[in-house]
Every structure is written in structure tokens, then in C-alpha cells.
Amino acid sequence: MSVNQQAHTGPPYGQPQPGYQGYQQPAYGGQPLPGVPQSQYGAYNGPMPGYQQPVPPQGYFPSLGFPSKGSPVSLNSDTSSLAPNFIGSLRAPPTSGAPPPATGASLPSGHLAYSQFGHGDVQNGIPASAAPMQRPPASQPFLPGSAPTPVSQTSTFQQYGPPPASVQQLSNHMAGMTIGSTTASAPPPAGLGYGPPTSVPPVSGSFSATGSGLYTPYTASQGPPPTSVSQGLPLAQPPFLGQPISTQRLPTQVPGFAPPPSSTGIGPSSYSPATGAPRPPTMPGPPLSGQTVAGPPTSQPNHISSPPPPSTMSGPHPGPPMSGLHGPPPPTHPPQPGYQMQQNGSFGQVRGPQPNYGGAYPGTPNYGSQPGPPPPPKRLDPDSIPSPQLNELPPQQKPRHRIDPDAIPSPIQVIEDDRSNRGSEPFVTGVRGQVPPLVTTNFLVKDQGNASPRYIRCTSYNIPCTSDMAKQSQVPLAAVIKPLATLPPEETLPYLVDHGESGPVRCNRCKAYMCPFMQFIEGGRRFQCCFCSCVTEVPPHYFQHLDHTGKRVDFYDRPELSLGSYEFLATVDYCKNNKFPSPPAFIFMIDVSYNAVKSGLVRLICEELKSLLDYLPREGNMEESAIRVGFVTYNKVLHFYNVKSSLAQPQMMVVSDVADMFVPLLDGFLVNVNESRTVIASLLDQIPEMFADTRETETVFAPVIQAGLEALKAAECAGKLFIFHTSLPIAEAPGKLKNRDDKKLINTDKEKTLFQPQTSFYNNLAKDCVAQGCCVDLFLFPNQYLDVATLGVVTYQTGGSIYKYAYFQLETDQDRFLNDLRRDVQKEVGFDAVMRVRTSTGIRATDFFGAFYMSNTTDVEMAGLDCDKTITVEFKHDDKLSEDSGALLQCALLYTSCAGQRRLRIHNLSLNCCTQLADLYRNCETDTLINYLAKYAYRGVLGSPVKTVRDALINQCAQILACYRKNCASPSSAGQLILPECMKLLPVYLNCVLKSDVLQPGPEVTTDDRAYIRQLVTSMDVAETNVFFYPRLLPLTKADVDSDSLPAAIRNSEERLSKGDIYLLENGLNIFVWVGVNVQQGLIQNLFGVSSFSQISNALSTLPVLENPFSKKVRSIVDMLQVQRSRYMKLIIVKQEDKLEMLFKHFLVEDKSLSGGASYVDFLCHMHKEIRQLLS
Ligand SMILES: [Zn+2]
């Protein structure tokens, strides 16, 4: 299709792309933590995977113009349709040229084209040089799953548990929630935050635990779930629904791919000397025969160490004085001409206090039995949001709301509009620069040459041609990339292309991979790179004739020529040490100190593993997972277990010299689950008994990671450590920590230290882990401060996940923990991953955000990358762009699959470029912008005072909006606030970021919670940040029990609540069910099984299973939401006027927060003031 080819006519031989050899980039590796070595990551001895072409440059002809097919300046899909309301008022220069969507030539039936049978005459041209046809790449290669027929590959989607409900991606979230803060005098809420504040014991167990997780593609975030999931419940979360997530490729298809036999075994011979000859364990525990295992080794003298020092946490922090914006003091505003006063109700109508319910805090309108006056249908023209005339109101006593909340841009309305406008048609990716539907809309994607928005979303799909324009607008240019995103069953997984021993075809100069935008010339004998313009010879085996339009006749038969996303099978050149990798290993490392045992956690984990091990990730048709497993328990010393299949009983080996960790056994540590099933089961039965009487309270931590790392090194494989840990590691050992929590640092210049690790030890350890492909997933069960900022360093830099369950209680928290663990173990994950983003001349990737490690300025390294993780990449200009050429991105991820197959996943995206600012503003995506801004700010707190970070955010957004007003909006009164249609939610969402616990913590938010949330957000995708910052609020009593749909969401404000109704609020980490005091008794009976409001227990962690339509409906909604999230959300019941309500109110983000965060209305006024100042 012409679309792809036209675009690149760009300056034929433009300048060599500057970035390839590593332009300087400010040092920061994913995490600008002090002490992160920036040195070259040396593990990859072999060719830098994927980024080094083993083939010597050949045939590079400096250009002379091969005819660059004059691409018609396309008329581009005027995305203006997206902004109906507003665009009209803009000068709307034609958007820069994206070619019109493919016409007849397009792939009507999706990817049918890839059927082996190709398309009719496509076969006509056999390469003159006739590369042997023996391995016709076109036919065998893509076996996306097992099914050769592309289009209908629905079955290939296998996700553990229910499939993502909707179009949106799974996102990984973590638990936690933030809490608003209370006023200084308010008593600290029972347990706010991501769990109960660690400093406050759980009041009722009700939500003592922290974070919640869930898992589900965020998709359905608001609307009726796609039909596939809508039936919701059943799919909900059967513990092990079917197969583990897998990508289903047939490994057997890979000729020549076979892990070296020697590497698969764990025989001693396979251990590399690097790990040192196995030293005899210092305490070769006697073989555990049956009960002999009992009892921790004597070396472990039941040392009863004094209990960990009490948390130094200082008491509730007084309502932090907020920087920047207290409710922007409207009173200071000058009279605003354009503001229509309240009288007419159009804007700024002052709501009278509602009768029945006293607002919890001053300034907040009360809510009465009515959900507030029904919003008048009038929707404010975003062009003319009036500013309040504050001067007419006495400063202090005025009601907070001077503007009718219904008159300012509503997130709910924007979401609903997008859903109704764009939810019905598939999003076809054949057009350059097309803005996708919002993440909250359910839609299907058809790949016709650009990567699905499930893989890549951009802050803008139309980039300014010059850096001056970009600077003027202040709109950050960034892409949020989720390379291994899970797709809904209706969509096709990326095809796997196998080019045999020669490997993928790449540009000789910049090493970009073959993609739809490469232009073939000279009858097909060469191709010109769309990224750097270099001309490269087409390898003989890849030759194909061109048709009259200049397109290869096998265009539709090759994913890499016609699709935006696909995979290549990597050759040995892309492997470490020029050796194909062994299948990865999972090592389970269980804290068996006093608290872990006493809480029942150890027994719970062991019981769960017995069944969970049968669901390890596996590929496609493999009957069993290739992943090997190993087990370690620890407190102050480490216990390794030999679970070799030939043993009658597992054997324990103790290493008490934690200062110099080594693995005491080689053979029998990592085993195949099926082969060692009996021994493993015996071990898991014995572990809880062995440590049942332990008095050991101290733990080590770094040696545990070191042990896992050494084991993987010895086995010469990548893998993942699952560490279950309970306390601050104060035992004498490397990486020992001290309690340095100090909330008095909040709002001081030293606040940043709370987010930084207290020692650089873990940064160095992380570097070693990344070099080995050792990913660390951390499950924390703290009863007090355990320094997440430090313990999380290795997890963060290896691409792992952290889960936190504060005050873990078996009864209320086990479901959440087990669901998280199951999903975490089963989800799709790639190991030993390296990602690079290439761009066409003119822009380059300059900054990266996410959970990874960088040893240079271009390669993002991750020991593990799972389907929920995203990497946000920022771009900057280094040259002028052209409207004709547009801009291209190519994200290449080299990774090892769960079966040990080395692959490259490629995502391509073409963007438009513009010379008019209006085009930029018309093609922005606010949700993505917020994702970027939040990550930018959350990284900023590592180095700057929080106030500085907040002020910078406000300033940048004010500049973005001021630039629009100045250059794009039609002339209007200065008193009017004018927002671009695509950014009309920027103020409300930005305010949510500013009020978040990381940037404006309430007194009950713990230091660990903040560090935890900071890390979580850094890996979130756009859908996750969207619901995290602006939670979804659903009136349950309005739900139609006869339908599968969700009730329409309402805005997050107390005013919208009626005391006669029940609501559900979710933010990806928690689910609240709020019950009004006047709810009918019948409803209470139906939902909670009790006869009155007062009898409802807020200690419930699940809703009772009752046989009536309302109960079923509500539980189905809860289950549906759980399935959509990447972590299991903690359910919290909140009764109106109950103490927990304060926690709930923290999430009513349009209201003023108890920690000083501004209300939406106030913040909008504040932004307006800032904008006016910039313009004056
Ligand atoms: Zn190139």
C-alpha cells in the first residue's frame, strides 16, 4: 500500500542519523540514582545483540538519487474529526501530509495476506539471483501462533485468567493508593494509603494490607466491557485459568535453534567456572530425609535478636504546607470580563449547601440526598470557559465553587464522547499520524503498517518540524512503549519471521530493521533506509521484484513489509557469547523469619507453589514449560535445597557465611518441575514445619539476591527471582540497612533522600543482575518501615515488579496476594532484553523512563520485561523535520522467550510533522501527556525538592496552554480560558498528579508508600496512569442487573454522591464500595446480607455471595474490574460518615484534598491566572 512508501521520500540521502553511535545523553539510566554506574554493560560480549550488524557494510552507495518516489503530499487524514467542537475555531491548515489511507490495495481482510498461499500473482517474481528457495521466508516464517491463518488468530491469545476485557492493555499496577490527607487536626484515618500506613497498625484488618493489584487490561476502564469479557464473572479469575500466558510460537519451527545440550542440564559440568568451583557449603546440612529436615540448621542458634528497632517514623505529619498551589486563591484574580456570573447558571453557579450532610471539611459543598442537580446538558464550549470574578466575593468566606462544575471540561464526558464516536470502528493503522481512540475506549486494532496503540502511544501524532516550534509549545514529544503488551483475543499476535542463518535484513548504516517504510529501488535490488537514507543491497535470498508502483510483489506476504509490528527469529549473533540461550529459570526465595512464619505466610506460599508450578509460562504447543525451578529459604542465613528427581527426599544445605555468597550445590538446585515433582512437593510440605518454631527475627536481603544471581550464573541462564520478604534487613551482611525513615524531611530540601537508596550497594548488585539476565520480583509483607526505596533498587533496575502487603493478614489479604502471585508467575515475560528506539533523521530519543538499566545512552537493558511494563521515551529535535517525510520510530526489542528462544520484536510508527502549531495541538493525546509528565515529575523528586518539581509541572502546562491561546485560538476576551480540544482535560488531570502522594503526601502516607508508588507509576502504561490519577467512580445502584454493561461513570466529586446510593471507586490498586447512610434497607440486605446500615462490617475484604440479582451484578462488576487490571485490587468497604470515609475521599480528586491539594475548579482558576501572566 502506498501509504507506507510515500512517506519516506524524504531527503533522499539526508544526513546520517546522528544518534546511532551514541550521542551524548545526560547520564541517567532509567533511574538517576546516585551511584548508578554508567559504565558499559559488559555482559554482551558478542555482537551487541540486535544492534550490531555482523555483516560488514556492503553496497552502501552514497546516494545519488535513486528516484525517491515523489510522494504526493498527502492530504492526510485530517484528524480534525477528533475535535469537533473546537477545531472549527482554529485556523486549520491542512495537516501535514499523511497519505490517504490505503485504498484498494490495502489489506482488506486484515492479515489474510500472510497465508502461505500468498496472493495470486504475487509469486511472479523469483529473484534473479535466486536465493535458494529452500527456505521461503514468506511462508514458514510467521507462525504467529500456531495458526497459519493470521486473521483469525484469536485462539493464540492466551492469557492467564480471563482475557483482557477490552481493548486496553493490561497494565501493571500496583497496589497502593493514596490517600488524601487530612487537615492537620484531623485524626489520621485508619489506614490510608497503600495499605495502612505502616506507622498505624491496621485498625480493623479491613484494609490493613497495602496495595492491591489486579490485573486486567485497563480497558474496560469505563465502558461496558467488550463482549468477550462482558459476561464477566465466569472469566473472572479462576486461579489458573488455562494456560499460562504464552506467545505460542512453535519453537520447532526454528531451524537450527536448539539450545546447546550442555546448557540445558544442570550437571556440574555446565557450571561455569565463573561461579567458582562449588565450595563446600559451610554447613552441609545432612540430607533431609523426611523429618530430619526439621529444624533449622543448628548453625542458626535460634538467635533471638532484639526485635527490629521500632520505626522511627514520626507521627502524623502535619498537613504539609503546600507549595505552589493551595487552592489557587481565586480572590486575587482581577475582575474577568468574560465571566458570566452565577446568576444565569451557565457557569459559576454557586451551589447552596445541601441540607442533610455536613461537608467533611470546609469549602466542600455538602452533598445531600440528591446527586447534585443533574448536570444541565449544556456543555461548555471549551473555548469559552469563563474565569470567575473573584473580586466580587469576599475572599475567605466564599463558597469554594464559584464556577459551576458542570461548566468545566468533564473527564466523564470526554471519555463517553470518544467511546461513542470511536468505539464502534476498528482502528486501522495504515495512516500516518493517526490519533488512536482514548485508552478508555474499547476498540479493535487492525495493523496495516503502524504499531498498534497497545504497543505505542504518543503525546502527539503530529510533531513540530523545528525544535523552535517544539520549544515554543512546550509540548513534550514522547512515546509510551509497551513492547510485549497483551492483545485481546480478537487481535493478531505479531508474526514471527525467520530469515534463517542470515538473520533479519537491516540497514547497513543505522542497523534499522526491515520495515514497511523502507523503499526498494533499482528494481528491487537495493533499498533506501527510511531512517538514515543509506542505501543497502538487498541480500540475494531476500530479493523480490517490484510492481508498477514500486512495491515488492511479496509485500503482503511479509509481515516486515506490511505490518507495524512483527518479530524476527534472532540468530546466534544476537546471543550472549555467540551461544543460544538456555531456557530461563525461576527461583523462589522465601523469608522464613519469625514474622513470616507466624503470619502463616510461609505455609501459604508453599501450599500455593505446589499447584502454581504447573502453570509456568510455556510456549505455544509445548506440553510443559521449559523453565526450571529452584528453592531457597532464608532469615539470617540461607538454605538451599537439592530437589533432584533421583532423591527420595529433598536435601538442605545451609550457607551461613553471607558475606561472600555462593551456591553450595550445582546439580539438583534448578530442576524440571515434572521430573522432580515428588521431591518438590515433599520440600514444600516440609518447609513450614521446619521453621514453625523459629525465633529468628532478623533477615538479610542482598545475599539472597546474590545467591539467586550466582545460581543463574552457574546454570548459564537468565531467570527471575521471586523473593518473599518481610522486614528491614538489619542482620550483619552486605546490603545491611538501617532505619532512616524521617517524615520530618518532608517539604525540606532533604526530602529527596527519602526516595533515594541509602547505599549504592544495591545499584551495583542490580548492574550484575542485569548482566546475567537475573530479574527480581519482590513481594513485601512489612509491618513497619523496610525501606522500599532501597530494597526496590534491584527490582526496579532489572525490570521486575514490586508488590507490597503491609500488615499482611492471612484472612483478608491472601486472595489478593495469591492472585498477584499467580499472575506474576504466569505472565508473559522476556529475559535478557535490550531495547533500542531508532528514529528518522531530525529527531532522536533522548530520555527514557521506566524500570530498566542503561549502561550507555541508547540501549535500555532489562533483565526481564513482562507484558505489563512500559518504557516512556522522550524525543528531541536534532534537525529540521519535513512535512512530506514525517517522522518514524522503530522500537526493536531483543529478548529471550520463556522457552529460551532469542527473538527481536519490532514496532514501527510513522508520525506527521507540522509547521503550524495548530496541527500539533489538534493531534495531541492528553492521557499520554499525563503519563509522561507524571513519570518526569516522579523522577524529578530524586534530585529536586518536591515543591520545585510541582512548580515546574504547573509552569510547563501553563506554557503549553498559553502557547495555544496565543498562536492557535481565535481572538477572544482575555478573561476567557481557552483550552485546546485535545487538551481540555490537561488541567484536571495535571491537578491529580500534583495532588498525588508522591508530590503532596498527606500525614498518613508513609515513606515506603511514596517510594512504592513512585516506582509503580514509572512502569505504568497510559491506561493505568489514567485511572490511577483519575479513578473510576460507578454508581452501583444505577446498574442494570439485566445487562452486562457497567453503569455510567460519574465525576470524582463528593457533590456527585447521593446518600441513598452505593458507589464503587477503583484506581487500579484499590476498589472502594461506598455506602450512603440512606441506602434502602433492601439493597443493604441484598448486597451485604445484613439488615441495616449499622451492621455492615467494613472489615469485609470481599462481598458476601448472595443469591439475588443485585448481589450478583455488583460482584460481577467487581470481578470484571479485577480482571482488567494487572494487579489484584484490594476491596475496601466504606460507610458514609465512617472513619474510613476520609480515605475514600482522598480519591474524589475533583475536590479539594485534605492534604492541601486544590479542587479542580480552583486549580483551573489558578492555571488561568498563570496563563494570563504568561500572555501579558
Ligand atoms: Zn539506516
CA gap 1148, 367 in Å, rounded: 13
DSSP-derived secondary structure for 239-251: TT-SSPPB----G
DSSP calls for 125-186: ---TT---TTS-TTTSS--SSS-S-STT-GGG-B-SSSPPSSSSPEE------------TTS
pLDDT at 831 over 60: yes
Pairing of strands 1062-1066, 638-642: unpaired
Give whole-number Cα distances, 790 to 795, 943, 1007, 1074, in Å.
10, 16, 12, 36
CA 1052 to ligand 1 centroid distance, Å: 49
CB atoms within 10 A of CB 148: 15
Distance in angstroms (rounded) separating the CA atoms of residues 1051 and 1048 = 10
How far away, in angstroms, is 51 Cα from ligand 1 center?
12
Q: Is 50 exceeded by the pLDDT of residue 922?
A: yes
Kindly state the DSSP code that residue 1082 receives in the 8-state scheme.
H
- Mean pLDDT across the chain, nearest whole number? 74
pTM, whole model, 2 decimals?
0.71
Rounded to the nearest angstrom, the distance between the alpha carbon of 529 and the centre of ligand 1 is: 5
Residues 1012-1033, mean pLDDT to the nearest whole number: 97
pLDDT of residue 1155: 85
Q: Three cell numbers at 36? A: 548508578
3-state secondary structure of 998: coil
Alpha carbon of 875 to ligand 1 centroid (Å): 18
Q: Say if residue 407's pLDDT is above 60.
A: yes
Rounded (10°) angle between helices 1081-1088 and 1109-1123: 60
Q: Are 110 and 86 in contact (CB under 8 A)?
A: no
CA angle in degrees (0–180, nearest 5) for 242-247-253: 120
Q: Give percent of the chain with pLDDT exceeding 90.
A: 61
Give distance in angstroms: CA of 906 to centre of ligand 1: 15
Distance from the alpha carbon of residue 58 to the mean position of ligand 1, in angstroms: 13
| Backbone phi, psi, residue 1041, to 5° | -70, -15
3-state secondary structure of 404: coil
- CA-wise closest residue to 559 among 69, 2, 118: 118
Percent of the chain with pLDDT over 70: 66
Return the closest-CA partner of residue 1071 out of 1109, 1125, 1113. Answer: 1125
pLDDT recorded at residue 293: 37
Pairwise CA distance, residues 820 & 417, whole Å: 34
Residue 532: what pLDDT?
96
Compute the distance from residue 534 Cα to the ligand 1 centre, in Å: 5
pLDDT surpassing 80 at residue 825: yes
The Å distance, Cα 867 to ligand 1 centre, comes to: 29
Element (H, E) at 893: strand 887-896
Using the structure block, give the residue that is written with the C-alpha cell 509549545.
Answer: 473
Q: How far is the CA of 551 from the centre of ligand 1 (A)?
A: 19
Cell 464516536 locates to: 421
Centroid of ligand 1 to alpha carbon of 1044 (angstroms): 50
How many whole angstroms from 574 Cα to the centroid of ligand 1?
19
The pLDDT tens digits of the residues spanning 307-363 come to 333 333 333 333 333 333 333 333 333 333 333 333 322 233 333 333 333 333 333
Q: pLDDT class for 295, splitting at 50, 70, 90?
A: very low
Q: What separation in Å is there between the alpha carbon of 922 and the centre of ligand 1?
A: 31
**pLDDT at residue 402, rounded to an integer:** 64
What CA–CA distance (Å, rounded) separates 608 from 627? 18
Q: How far is CA 1008 from the centre of its chain?
A: 20
Q: Ligand 1 centroid to 431 CA: how many Å?
A: 22
CA of 612 to the centre of ligand 1 (A): 46
Question: Separation of 932 CA from ligand 1 center, angstroms?
Answer: 28
Contact predicate 68/528, CB 8 Å: yes
**Cell numbers standing for residue 893:** 526489542
**Which residues share a beta bridge with 653?**
640
Q: Alpha-carbon distance 82 to 198, whole Å? A: 46
Residue from 216, 159, 236 nearest 489 by CA: 159
Residues 734, 702 contacting (CB under 8 angstroms): yes
pLDDT in tens, 666-698: 899 999 999 999 999 999 999 999 999 999 999
DSSP E strand stretches across 552-680 = 565-569, 585-591, 628-634, 638-642, 651-655
Neighbours of 301 (CB within 10 A): 11
Per the model's pLDDT, the better-predicted residue between 728 and 234 turns out to be 728
Within 13 Å of residue 967, how many CA atoms lie on the same side as its CB? 19
Residues whose CB is less than 8 angstroms from the CB of residue 1017 and which lie 6 or more positions away in sequence, other chains included: 934, 935, 938, 998, 1025, 1028
At residue 499, the 3 state secondary structure works out as coil
Give the pLDDT score at 1044. 87
For residue 432, the 8-state DSSP code is T
Task: Residue 39: count other Cβ atoms within 10 Å of its Cβ.
Answer: 9
| Cα 639 to averaged position of ligand 1 atoms, centre (Å) | 52
Q: What local confidence, expressed as pLDDT, does residue 1176 receive?
A: 86
The confidence score (pLDDT) of residue 154 equals 32
d(CA 630, CA 646): 15
Q: Is the pLDDT of residue 110 over 90?
A: no
Would the pLDDT of 917 be above 90?
yes
Distance 508 CA to ligand 1 centre (A): 6
Distance 511 CA to ligand 1 centre (A): 6
Find the 432 Cα to ligand 1 centroid distance in Å: 20
* Count of CB atoms situated within 10 Å of the CB of 290: 10
Distance 27 CA to ligand 1 centre (A): 26
What is the CA(739)–ligand 1 centre distance, in A?
Answer: 52
- Please tell me the distance between residue 834's alpha carbon and the centre of ligand 1 in angstroms: 19
Ligand 1 centroid distance, CA of 11 (Å): 13
10 CA distance to ligand 1 middle (Å): 13
Helix axis angle for 677-690 and 601-612, nearest 10°, is: 170
State which H helix or E strand residue 829 sits in: strand 829-839
Q: How sure is the predictor about 192, in pLDDT bands with cuts at 50, 70 and 90?
A: very low
Render pLDDT for 155-187 as a digit per residue (tens, 0 to 9).
Answer: 333 333 333 333 333 233 322 232 233 333 333
Asked if 202 and 147 count as a contact pair (C-beta separation under 8 A), the reply is no
Residue 1080 · residue 185 · CB < 8 Å: no
Whose grid coordinates read 499482611? Answer: 808
User: What phi and psi, each to the nearest 5 degrees, are found at residue 972?
Assistant: -160, 175
Straight-line distance from the first to the last Cα atom of the chain, in angstroms, rounded to the nearest whole number: 49
Measured in Å, residue 243 CA sits from the centre of ligand 1 at 40
Nearest one of 330, 475, 477 to 959, comparing CA atoms: 475
Question: What are the DSSP calls for 640-666, one per residue?
Answer: EEE--TT-SS-EEEEE--GGG---S--
Pick the range with the lowest mean pLDDT from 94-98, 202-206, 433-437, 647-651.
202-206
Return the number of other C-beta atoms located less than 10 Å from residue 277's C-beta: 10
Ligand 1 midpoint to CA 53 (Å):
12
CA of 449 to the centre of ligand 1 (A): 18
* Ligand 1 midpoint to CA 512 (Å): 5
Q: What is the mean pLDDT of residues 286-298?
A: 37
DSSP 1050: B
